[in-house]
Structure 1
Amino acid sequence: MTMFLLVPGFWIDPSVWDEVAAALRARGHDATAVELGHAPTDTAESHVDDVLAALGTADGPVVLAGHSGAGPVCAAAAERARDRVAHLVFVDTGPLPDGVAQVDFLPPEGQRWVRDAIAAHGSGQPMPTRAEFDELGTSTEGFSDAAFAAVRARSRVEPAGAVLTGARRGTPDPTLPKTVVACSFAPEQVRALIDAGVPGFAEMGGPEWTTVALPTGHWPMVSEPAALAELLASLA
Protein backbone atom coordinates (compact mmCIF):
# COMPACT_ATOMS: atom_id res chain seq x y z
CA MET A 1 0.00 0.00 0.00
CA THR A 2 1.17 3.50 -0.87
CA MET A 3 0.04 6.75 0.71
CA PHE A 4 -0.90 9.52 -1.72
CA LEU A 5 -1.25 13.17 -0.73
CA LEU A 6 -3.18 15.06 -3.41
CA VAL A 7 -2.91 18.85 -3.37
CA PRO A 8 -5.39 21.02 -5.32
CA GLY A 9 -4.31 24.05 -7.28
CA PHE A 10 -5.68 27.57 -7.13
CA TRP A 11 -9.33 28.18 -6.20
CA ILE A 12 -10.47 24.58 -5.98
CA ASP A 13 -11.23 22.62 -2.83
CA PRO A 14 -10.00 19.08 -2.02
CA SER A 15 -13.23 17.51 -3.27
CA VAL A 16 -11.96 17.92 -6.83
CA TRP A 17 -9.73 14.90 -6.09
CA ASP A 18 -12.61 12.68 -4.88
CA GLU A 19 -12.83 10.41 -7.93
CA VAL A 20 -9.07 9.99 -8.19
CA ALA A 21 -8.77 9.25 -4.46
CA ALA A 22 -11.59 6.70 -4.63
CA ALA A 23 -9.92 4.93 -7.56
CA LEU A 24 -6.60 4.80 -5.71
CA ARG A 25 -8.29 3.37 -2.62
CA ALA A 26 -9.98 0.75 -4.78
CA ARG A 27 -6.47 -0.36 -5.76
CA GLY A 28 -5.56 -0.80 -2.11
CA HIS A 29 -3.77 2.50 -1.57
CA ASP A 30 -4.42 5.30 0.88
CA ALA A 31 -5.25 8.71 -0.59
CA THR A 32 -5.87 12.03 1.14
CA ALA A 33 -6.55 15.42 -0.42
CA VAL A 34 -4.89 18.36 1.30
CA GLU A 35 -6.74 21.54 2.26
CA LEU A 36 -4.80 24.71 1.47
CA GLY A 37 -5.65 27.89 3.32
CA HIS A 38 -7.76 30.55 1.62
CA ALA A 39 -7.68 33.27 4.25
CA PRO A 40 -6.85 36.72 2.84
CA THR A 41 -3.50 36.60 4.66
CA ASP A 42 -2.39 33.26 3.19
CA THR A 43 0.68 33.16 0.95
CA ALA A 44 2.70 30.66 -1.03
CA GLU A 45 4.77 30.09 2.11
CA SER A 46 1.71 29.40 4.28
CA HIS A 47 0.57 26.91 1.66
CA VAL A 48 3.94 25.17 1.98
CA ASP A 49 3.24 24.99 5.72
CA ASP A 50 -0.17 23.38 4.97
CA VAL A 51 1.53 20.66 2.92
CA LEU A 52 4.24 20.17 5.55
CA ALA A 53 1.53 19.70 8.19
CA ALA A 54 -0.10 17.01 6.07
CA LEU A 55 3.24 15.31 5.50
CA GLY A 56 3.87 15.34 9.23
CA THR A 57 0.74 13.28 9.89
CA ALA A 58 1.33 10.79 7.07
CA ASP A 59 2.27 7.23 7.94
CA GLY A 60 5.58 6.97 6.15
CA PRO A 61 6.90 8.48 2.89
CA VAL A 62 4.19 9.44 0.41
CA VAL A 63 3.60 10.11 -3.25
CA LEU A 64 3.02 13.86 -3.16
CA ALA A 65 1.02 15.17 -6.13
CA GLY A 66 0.44 18.88 -6.68
CA HIS A 67 -1.85 20.25 -9.36
CA SER A 68 -1.29 23.57 -11.10
CA GLY A 69 -0.52 26.30 -8.55
CA ALA A 70 0.22 23.65 -5.93
CA GLY A 71 3.17 22.31 -7.93
CA PRO A 72 5.74 24.88 -6.76
CA VAL A 73 4.34 24.63 -3.23
CA CYS A 74 4.86 20.86 -3.21
CA ALA A 75 8.38 21.24 -4.61
CA ALA A 76 9.32 23.52 -1.70
CA ALA A 77 7.63 21.25 0.85
CA ALA A 78 9.43 18.16 -0.48
CA GLU A 79 12.77 19.93 -0.11
CA ARG A 80 12.04 20.72 3.54
CA ALA A 81 10.67 17.28 4.39
CA ARG A 82 12.62 15.03 2.04
CA ASP A 83 12.31 12.01 4.32
CA ARG A 84 8.51 12.21 4.09
CA VAL A 85 8.30 12.09 0.27
CA ALA A 86 8.94 9.00 -1.87
CA HIS A 87 7.86 10.47 -5.23
CA LEU A 88 6.97 14.02 -6.28
CA VAL A 89 4.34 14.46 -8.99
CA PHE A 90 3.50 17.67 -10.86
CA VAL A 91 0.04 17.48 -12.43
CA ASP A 92 0.05 19.83 -15.43
CA THR A 93 2.54 22.04 -13.66
CA GLY A 94 6.17 22.22 -12.56
CA PRO A 95 8.47 23.82 -10.02
CA LEU A 96 9.38 27.50 -9.95
CA PRO A 97 12.70 29.06 -8.95
CA ASP A 98 13.21 30.40 -5.45
CA GLY A 99 10.81 33.23 -4.68
CA VAL A 100 9.23 33.34 -8.14
CA ALA A 101 5.47 33.83 -7.94
CA GLN A 102 2.86 32.18 -10.11
CA VAL A 103 1.93 35.51 -11.63
CA ASP A 104 5.54 36.08 -12.71
CA PHE A 105 5.39 32.96 -14.88
CA LEU A 106 2.57 34.37 -17.03
CA PRO A 107 3.08 36.45 -20.17
CA PRO A 108 2.77 40.22 -19.63
CA GLU A 109 -0.87 40.41 -20.71
CA GLY A 110 -1.76 37.56 -18.35
CA GLN A 111 0.07 39.24 -15.48
CA ARG A 112 -1.90 42.44 -16.07
CA TRP A 113 -5.18 40.52 -16.17
CA VAL A 114 -4.47 38.73 -12.88
CA ARG A 115 -3.28 41.86 -11.08
CA ASP A 116 -6.35 43.75 -12.29
CA ALA A 117 -8.62 40.95 -11.04
CA ILE A 118 -6.96 41.04 -7.61
CA ALA A 119 -7.20 44.81 -7.46
CA ALA A 120 -10.90 44.68 -8.38
CA HIS A 121 -11.63 42.10 -5.69
CA GLY A 122 -9.44 43.63 -3.02
CA SER A 123 -7.84 40.64 -1.30
CA GLY A 124 -7.48 37.93 -3.91
CA GLN A 125 -8.37 36.48 -7.30
CA PRO A 126 -11.76 34.79 -7.82
CA MET A 127 -11.77 31.76 -10.10
CA PRO A 128 -12.06 32.95 -13.71
CA THR A 129 -15.03 32.02 -15.85
CA ARG A 130 -14.60 29.45 -18.60
CA ALA A 131 -14.47 32.23 -21.18
CA GLU A 132 -11.78 34.01 -19.16
CA PHE A 133 -9.72 30.82 -18.92
CA ASP A 134 -9.99 30.49 -22.70
CA GLU A 135 -8.77 34.07 -23.04
CA LEU A 136 -5.85 33.35 -20.69
CA GLY A 137 -4.91 30.25 -22.65
CA THR A 138 -5.78 27.74 -19.91
CA SER A 139 -7.36 24.64 -21.42
CA THR A 140 -10.73 23.49 -20.06
CA GLU A 141 -10.89 20.56 -22.50
CA GLY A 142 -12.87 17.64 -21.12
CA PHE A 143 -14.66 19.85 -18.61
CA SER A 144 -18.40 19.75 -19.29
CA ASP A 145 -20.27 22.99 -18.70
CA ALA A 146 -22.10 21.39 -15.77
CA ALA A 147 -18.91 20.06 -14.19
CA PHE A 148 -17.14 23.39 -14.62
CA ALA A 149 -20.08 25.24 -13.08
CA ALA A 150 -20.11 22.83 -10.12
CA VAL A 151 -16.38 23.23 -9.47
CA ARG A 152 -16.55 27.00 -9.82
CA ALA A 153 -19.54 27.15 -7.44
CA ARG A 154 -17.39 25.47 -4.77
CA SER A 155 -14.33 27.59 -5.54
CA ARG A 156 -12.76 30.03 -3.14
CA VAL A 157 -10.99 33.30 -3.80
CA GLU A 158 -7.28 32.62 -4.14
CA PRO A 159 -5.45 34.88 -1.67
CA ALA A 160 -3.36 37.60 -3.28
CA GLY A 161 -0.30 36.39 -1.38
CA ALA A 162 -0.58 32.93 -2.93
CA VAL A 163 -0.67 34.42 -6.42
CA LEU A 164 1.79 37.30 -6.04
CA THR A 165 4.48 35.71 -3.84
CA GLY A 166 6.71 32.71 -4.33
CA ALA A 167 7.82 29.91 -2.05
CA ARG A 168 11.29 29.64 -0.58
CA ARG A 169 13.15 26.84 -2.32
CA GLY A 170 15.75 24.58 -0.80
CA THR A 171 18.12 22.27 -2.63
CA PRO A 172 16.42 19.75 -4.94
CA ASP A 173 17.40 16.18 -4.14
CA PRO A 174 18.42 14.27 -7.30
CA THR A 175 17.57 10.98 -5.56
CA LEU A 176 13.88 11.95 -5.28
CA PRO A 177 11.93 10.68 -8.31
CA LYS A 178 9.89 13.42 -9.95
CA THR A 179 7.19 13.02 -12.58
CA VAL A 180 5.41 15.64 -14.66
CA VAL A 181 1.94 14.66 -15.87
CA ALA A 182 1.60 16.72 -19.06
CA CYS A 183 -2.05 17.34 -19.84
CA SER A 184 -2.54 20.68 -21.57
CA PHE A 185 0.99 20.68 -22.97
CA ALA A 186 3.07 17.96 -24.61
CA PRO A 187 6.23 16.32 -23.25
CA GLU A 188 8.05 17.58 -26.34
CA GLN A 189 7.25 21.15 -25.29
CA VAL A 190 8.76 20.49 -21.87
CA ARG A 191 11.93 19.14 -23.44
CA ALA A 192 12.28 22.24 -25.62
CA LEU A 193 11.88 24.54 -22.61
CA ILE A 194 14.43 22.53 -20.62
CA ASP A 195 16.92 22.76 -23.48
CA ALA A 196 16.29 26.51 -23.72
CA GLY A 197 17.02 26.95 -20.00
CA VAL A 198 13.67 28.58 -19.27
CA PRO A 199 13.32 29.27 -15.51
CA GLY A 200 11.01 26.74 -13.93
CA PHE A 201 11.97 24.15 -16.53
CA ALA A 202 15.77 24.18 -16.48
CA GLU A 203 15.94 22.03 -13.32
CA MET A 204 13.70 19.39 -14.92
CA GLY A 205 16.46 17.99 -17.12
CA GLY A 206 17.97 15.69 -14.50
CA PRO A 207 17.79 11.88 -14.62
CA GLU A 208 15.32 11.82 -11.73
CA TRP A 209 12.71 13.56 -13.90
CA THR A 210 10.20 11.88 -16.21
CA THR A 211 7.37 13.41 -18.19
CA VAL A 212 4.29 11.39 -19.12
CA ALA A 213 1.46 12.48 -21.38
CA LEU A 214 -2.18 12.50 -20.33
CA PRO A 215 -3.74 14.59 -23.11
CA THR A 216 -6.73 16.52 -21.77
CA GLY A 217 -7.42 19.91 -20.24
CA HIS A 218 -5.76 21.51 -17.23
CA TRP A 219 -7.97 19.66 -14.72
CA PRO A 220 -7.39 15.93 -15.41
CA MET A 221 -8.82 14.96 -12.01
CA VAL A 222 -12.17 16.12 -13.44
CA SER A 223 -11.82 15.31 -17.13
CA GLU A 224 -9.83 12.03 -16.85
CA PRO A 225 -9.97 10.87 -13.20
CA ALA A 226 -9.65 7.14 -13.97
CA ALA A 227 -6.66 7.66 -16.25
CA LEU A 228 -4.98 9.97 -13.75
CA ALA A 229 -5.54 7.49 -10.93
CA GLU A 230 -4.08 4.68 -13.05
CA LEU A 231 -1.04 6.80 -13.85
CA LEU A 232 -0.51 7.73 -10.19
CA ALA A 233 -0.93 4.12 -9.09
CA SER A 234 1.80 3.11 -11.53
CA LEU A 235 4.20 5.27 -9.50
CA ALA A 236 3.44 3.47 -6.24
Structure 2
Amino acid sequence: MTNFVLVPGAWLGGWAWDEVAVVLRAEGHEVYPVTLSGLAERQGVDAGQQEHVDDIVAVIEDNDLRDVVLAGHSYSGIPTGQAAGRIGDRLRRVVYVDSNIPHDGKSFIDGWSEEGRAWVEGQMAESGGYWPPLTAEDYVGQDLSDETIAVIVSRSTPHPGRAISEPAATAHPITELPTTYIKCLMDGATPSSDVAEHLKSPSWELVELPTGHWPMFSQPAALAKILGNAG
Protein backbone atom coordinates (compact mmCIF):
# COMPACT_ATOMS: atom_id res chain seq x y z
CA MET A 1 0.00 0.00 0.00
CA THR A 2 1.32 3.42 -1.02
CA ASN A 3 0.29 6.88 0.11
CA PHE A 4 -0.35 9.08 -2.91
CA VAL A 5 -0.32 12.83 -2.39
CA LEU A 6 -1.66 14.48 -5.54
CA VAL A 7 -1.26 18.20 -6.23
CA PRO A 8 -3.27 19.85 -9.05
CA GLY A 9 -1.97 22.54 -11.37
CA ALA A 10 -2.97 26.18 -11.71
CA TRP A 11 -6.63 27.15 -11.17
CA LEU A 12 -7.64 23.69 -9.94
CA GLY A 13 -8.46 22.12 -6.58
CA GLY A 14 -8.01 18.63 -5.21
CA TRP A 15 -11.24 17.70 -7.02
CA ALA A 16 -9.23 17.48 -10.26
CA TRP A 17 -7.84 14.13 -9.09
CA ASP A 18 -11.21 12.51 -8.32
CA GLU A 19 -11.18 9.94 -11.13
CA VAL A 20 -7.52 9.02 -10.57
CA ALA A 21 -8.17 8.64 -6.85
CA VAL A 22 -11.02 6.19 -7.47
CA VAL A 23 -8.69 3.88 -9.41
CA LEU A 24 -5.84 4.06 -6.89
CA ARG A 25 -8.13 3.50 -3.90
CA ALA A 26 -9.68 0.48 -5.62
CA GLU A 27 -6.17 -0.97 -5.72
CA GLY A 28 -5.82 -0.54 -1.96
CA HIS A 29 -3.80 2.66 -1.84
CA GLU A 30 -4.42 5.74 0.26
CA VAL A 31 -4.91 8.96 -1.71
CA TYR A 32 -4.61 12.52 -0.45
CA PRO A 33 -5.59 15.13 -3.07
CA VAL A 34 -4.33 18.59 -2.11
CA THR A 35 -6.11 21.89 -2.61
CA LEU A 36 -3.52 24.64 -2.44
CA SER A 37 -4.14 27.89 -0.55
CA GLY A 38 -6.10 30.43 -2.55
CA LEU A 39 -7.76 27.92 -4.89
CA ALA A 40 -11.09 26.07 -5.16
CA GLU A 41 -12.66 25.75 -1.68
CA ARG A 42 -9.67 27.64 -0.26
CA GLN A 43 -9.97 30.63 -2.60
CA GLY A 44 -9.68 34.19 -1.35
CA VAL A 45 -6.23 33.72 0.21
CA ASP A 46 -3.36 35.69 -1.31
CA ALA A 47 -0.93 32.77 -1.15
CA GLY A 48 2.70 32.81 -2.17
CA GLN A 49 4.69 29.89 -3.49
CA GLN A 50 6.16 28.93 -0.12
CA GLU A 51 2.64 28.72 1.31
CA HIS A 52 1.93 26.15 -1.39
CA VAL A 53 5.03 24.19 -0.42
CA ASP A 54 3.88 24.33 3.21
CA ASP A 55 0.40 23.12 2.19
CA ILE A 56 1.89 19.97 0.65
CA VAL A 57 4.28 19.28 3.51
CA ALA A 58 1.46 19.77 6.04
CA VAL A 59 -0.71 17.08 4.39
CA ILE A 60 2.17 14.62 4.68
CA GLU A 61 3.30 15.50 8.19
CA ASP A 62 -0.13 16.05 9.73
CA ASN A 63 -1.24 12.61 8.50
CA ASP A 64 2.13 11.08 9.43
CA LEU A 65 2.46 9.64 5.94
CA ARG A 66 5.35 7.45 4.83
CA ASP A 67 6.06 5.63 1.55
CA VAL A 68 4.75 8.75 -0.18
CA VAL A 69 4.46 9.09 -3.93
CA LEU A 70 4.19 12.83 -4.36
CA ALA A 71 2.78 13.96 -7.70
CA GLY A 72 2.48 17.50 -9.02
CA HIS A 73 0.80 18.63 -12.24
CA SER A 74 1.80 21.62 -14.39
CA TYR A 75 2.55 24.68 -12.18
CA SER A 76 2.49 22.50 -9.08
CA GLY A 77 5.63 20.65 -10.07
CA ILE A 78 7.45 23.66 -8.62
CA PRO A 79 6.06 23.50 -5.05
CA THR A 80 5.89 19.69 -5.23
CA GLY A 81 9.59 19.39 -6.02
CA GLN A 82 10.43 21.67 -3.13
CA ALA A 83 8.16 19.76 -0.74
CA ALA A 84 9.77 16.48 -1.80
CA GLY A 85 13.12 17.77 -0.59
CA ARG A 86 11.66 18.67 2.80
CA ILE A 87 9.99 15.40 3.76
CA GLY A 88 13.14 13.29 3.94
CA ASP A 89 12.67 9.53 4.22
CA ARG A 90 8.89 9.84 4.05
CA LEU A 91 9.31 10.13 0.28
CA ARG A 92 9.19 7.09 -1.98
CA ARG A 93 9.10 8.92 -5.30
CA VAL A 94 8.35 12.26 -6.94
CA VAL A 95 6.17 12.28 -10.05
CA TYR A 96 6.04 15.36 -12.26
CA VAL A 97 2.92 15.22 -14.43
CA ASP A 98 3.72 17.25 -17.56
CA SER A 99 4.90 19.92 -15.15
CA ASN A 100 7.40 22.63 -14.49
CA ILE A 101 10.23 21.75 -12.13
CA PRO A 102 11.74 23.99 -9.43
CA HIS A 103 14.94 25.93 -9.95
CA ASP A 104 16.42 27.54 -6.86
CA GLY A 105 15.92 31.29 -6.93
CA LYS A 106 13.62 31.24 -9.97
CA SER A 107 9.86 31.59 -10.22
CA PHE A 108 7.29 29.90 -12.45
CA ILE A 109 7.15 32.86 -14.82
CA ASP A 110 10.93 33.29 -14.94
CA GLY A 111 10.94 30.44 -17.45
CA TRP A 112 8.62 32.28 -19.83
CA SER A 113 9.63 34.45 -22.76
CA GLU A 114 9.74 38.20 -22.23
CA GLU A 115 6.48 38.55 -24.15
CA GLY A 116 4.82 35.72 -22.23
CA ARG A 117 5.86 37.13 -18.89
CA ALA A 118 4.56 40.57 -19.83
CA TRP A 119 1.24 38.99 -20.83
CA VAL A 120 0.87 37.13 -17.52
CA GLU A 121 1.89 40.14 -15.46
CA GLY A 122 -0.61 42.25 -17.39
CA GLN A 123 -3.38 39.74 -16.64
CA MET A 124 -2.50 39.78 -12.95
CA ALA A 125 -2.45 43.58 -12.84
CA GLU A 126 -5.97 43.66 -14.31
CA SER A 127 -7.24 40.97 -11.93
CA GLY A 128 -6.09 42.27 -8.56
CA GLY A 129 -2.98 40.14 -8.37
CA TYR A 130 -4.55 36.88 -9.58
CA TRP A 131 -3.95 34.86 -12.75
CA PRO A 132 -7.34 34.37 -14.45
CA PRO A 133 -8.37 30.82 -15.43
CA LEU A 134 -8.19 29.58 -19.00
CA THR A 135 -11.18 29.71 -21.32
CA ALA A 136 -12.80 26.73 -23.03
CA GLU A 137 -10.88 27.44 -26.24
CA ASP A 138 -7.59 26.94 -24.43
CA TYR A 139 -8.45 23.28 -23.79
CA VAL A 140 -9.23 22.38 -27.41
CA GLY A 141 -6.92 19.76 -28.93
CA GLN A 142 -5.96 18.27 -25.56
CA ASP A 143 -7.94 15.00 -25.70
CA LEU A 144 -10.83 16.42 -23.67
CA SER A 145 -14.56 16.15 -24.40
CA ASP A 146 -16.69 19.27 -24.56
CA GLU A 147 -18.44 18.14 -21.37
CA THR A 148 -15.16 17.74 -19.52
CA ILE A 149 -13.93 21.13 -20.71
CA ALA A 150 -17.14 22.71 -19.46
CA VAL A 151 -16.63 21.18 -16.00
CA ILE A 152 -13.00 22.33 -15.81
CA VAL A 153 -13.87 25.88 -16.85
CA SER A 154 -16.84 26.12 -14.47
CA ARG A 155 -14.84 24.88 -11.46
CA SER A 156 -11.57 26.73 -12.07
CA THR A 157 -10.68 29.64 -9.79
CA PRO A 158 -8.17 32.48 -10.20
CA HIS A 159 -4.62 31.50 -9.25
CA PRO A 160 -2.75 33.60 -6.66
CA GLY A 161 -0.23 35.69 -8.56
CA ARG A 162 2.42 35.60 -5.85
CA ALA A 163 2.59 31.82 -6.21
CA ILE A 164 3.75 32.08 -9.81
CA SER A 165 6.00 35.12 -9.38
CA GLU A 166 7.90 34.23 -6.19
CA PRO A 167 11.15 32.22 -6.46
CA ALA A 168 11.62 28.59 -5.53
CA ALA A 169 13.88 27.57 -2.65
CA THR A 170 14.98 23.95 -2.94
CA ALA A 171 16.13 22.21 0.23
CA HIS A 172 17.65 19.27 -1.67
CA PRO A 173 19.01 18.86 -5.23
CA ILE A 174 16.03 17.49 -7.13
CA THR A 175 18.27 15.41 -9.41
CA GLU A 176 19.09 13.19 -6.42
CA LEU A 177 15.49 12.33 -5.60
CA PRO A 178 13.84 9.23 -7.15
CA THR A 179 11.72 10.79 -9.86
CA THR A 180 9.35 9.96 -12.69
CA TYR A 181 8.61 12.62 -15.28
CA ILE A 182 5.42 12.07 -17.29
CA LYS A 183 5.42 13.79 -20.68
CA CYS A 184 1.99 14.23 -22.25
CA LEU A 185 2.69 14.01 -25.96
CA MET A 186 -0.21 16.08 -27.24
CA ASP A 187 1.24 19.04 -25.36
CA GLY A 188 4.63 18.69 -27.05
CA ALA A 189 6.55 15.64 -28.19
CA THR A 190 9.61 16.17 -25.99
CA PRO A 191 10.28 17.52 -22.50
CA SER A 192 11.53 21.06 -22.06
CA SER A 193 15.29 21.57 -22.16
CA ASP A 194 15.63 21.90 -18.39
CA VAL A 195 13.67 18.69 -17.81
CA ALA A 196 15.76 16.91 -20.46
CA GLU A 197 18.89 17.94 -18.60
CA HIS A 198 17.55 16.57 -15.31
CA LEU A 199 16.57 13.31 -17.03
CA LYS A 200 20.28 12.60 -17.42
CA SER A 201 20.30 11.81 -13.69
CA PRO A 202 20.21 8.07 -12.93
CA SER A 203 17.52 8.85 -10.34
CA TRP A 204 15.12 10.11 -13.02
CA GLU A 205 12.98 8.24 -15.54
CA LEU A 206 10.78 9.43 -18.40
CA VAL A 207 7.32 8.02 -19.10
CA GLU A 208 5.32 9.17 -22.12
CA LEU A 209 1.53 9.37 -22.19
CA PRO A 210 -0.29 9.89 -25.53
CA THR A 211 -2.77 12.48 -24.30
CA GLY A 212 -3.07 16.20 -23.59
CA HIS A 213 -1.81 18.36 -20.76
CA TRP A 214 -4.60 17.39 -18.33
CA PRO A 215 -4.34 13.56 -18.15
CA MET A 216 -6.24 13.36 -14.86
CA PHE A 217 -9.30 14.29 -16.93
CA SER A 218 -8.48 12.81 -20.33
CA GLN A 219 -6.83 9.50 -19.35
CA PRO A 220 -7.35 8.98 -15.59
CA ALA A 221 -6.95 5.18 -15.67
CA ALA A 222 -3.72 5.36 -17.66
CA LEU A 223 -2.36 8.05 -15.35
CA ALA A 224 -3.33 6.02 -12.29
CA LYS A 225 -1.48 3.01 -13.73
CA ILE A 226 1.70 5.05 -14.16
CA LEU A 227 1.38 6.40 -10.64
CA GLY A 228 0.78 2.89 -9.31
CA ASN A 229 3.93 1.66 -11.04
CA ALA A 230 5.86 4.53 -9.48
CA GLY A 231 4.72 3.34 -6.08
Taking structure 1 as the reference length, what is the TM-score of the superposition? 0.88
Change (3 A) 1:144 1:108: farther
Displacement, 1:167? Answer: 2.1
Measure the CA separation in 2 of the matches of 1:24 and 1:85.
18
Of the three residues 83, 104, 107, the one matched with 2:113 is: 107
Measure the CA separation in 1 of the matches of 2:141 and 2:48.
26
Displacement, 1:4? Answer: 0.4
Which residue of the partner structure matches residue 2 of structure 1?
2
Displacement, 1:206? Answer: 0.5
SS at match of 1:90: strand
Q: 1:169-208: CA deviations, max 9, x gaps?
A: 122265531000100233xx33x82xxxx4x653332100
Which residue of the partner structure matches residue 211 of structure 2?
216
Identity %: 38
Displacement, 1:148? Answer: 1.4
CA contact (8 A) 2:96 2:181 kept: yes
Which residue of the partner structure matches residue 150 of structure 1?
151
Q: 1:99-157: CA deviations, max 9, x gaps?
A: 211111122222122111111111201112133x37xxxx7511222211211211111
Is 167-176 or 35-44 further displaced after alignment?
A: 167-176
Measure the CA separation in 2 of the matches of 1:58 and 1:181.
27
Structure 2 unaligned segments of length 5 or more: list them.
Answer: 39-43
Question: 2:47 aligned with 1:42, yes or no?
Answer: yes
CA contact (8 A) 1:94 1:180 kept: no
Measure the CA separation in 2 of the matches of 1:114 and 1:145.
26
SS at match of 2:199: helix
| 1:9-158 pair list within 5 angstroms | 9-38=9-38, 39-56=44-61, 57-131=63-137, 133=138, 141-158=142-159
Displacement, 1:83? Answer: 1.7
Matched residue count: 223
Change (3 A) 1:128 1:165: same
Measure the CA separation in 2 of the matches of 1:58 and 1:8.
21
Structure 1 unaligned segments of length 5 or more: list them.
Answer: none
Q: Which runs of 4+ in 1 moved over 6 A?
A: none
Taking structure 2 as the reference length, what is the TM-score of the superposition? 0.90
Measure the CA separation in 1 of the matches of 2:212 and 2:30.
26
CA contact (8 A) 1:7 1:70 kept: yes
